Structure 1
């Protein structure tokens, strides 16, 4: 796993930062699910539902392939 993507859980004595980490996690999770859906709605109004769906599917494939390639490169360097 890439060190950049790893979040270190707070130690036992670090209870003050725990809420910051949890709230940051939920903000990122909310944005990661809502932004593509909102974009899909705008694209569907502009291009039609079928074309917008195919475009979103293609974008997901591209991001997944980039993530796979990045992971393989990072694993080979380690």
Structure 2
């Protein structure tokens, strides 16, 4: 299912355009932190994912880093659910 594009006269309300540009690349880098086999004490390593994003994309704001990590985690969870 594809999303319909908004009419040309509708302003683009999306934010975090830089996050959209790097999303696929960042998801690959962050996937190991969400994998069940890499948990420590049955806790995901999300805090390390934040660090990796900050190191690789220092131009991102705190909000953008947060949005990126949450979205990558959601994508990983949805693609690896049974």
TM-score bin, normalised by smaller chain: 0.3 to 0.5
Q: TM-score, normalised by structure 2?
A: 0.38
Larger radius of gyration: 1
Q: TM-score, normalised by structure 1?
A: 0.39
Instruction: Identify the structure with the greater helix proportion.
Output: 1
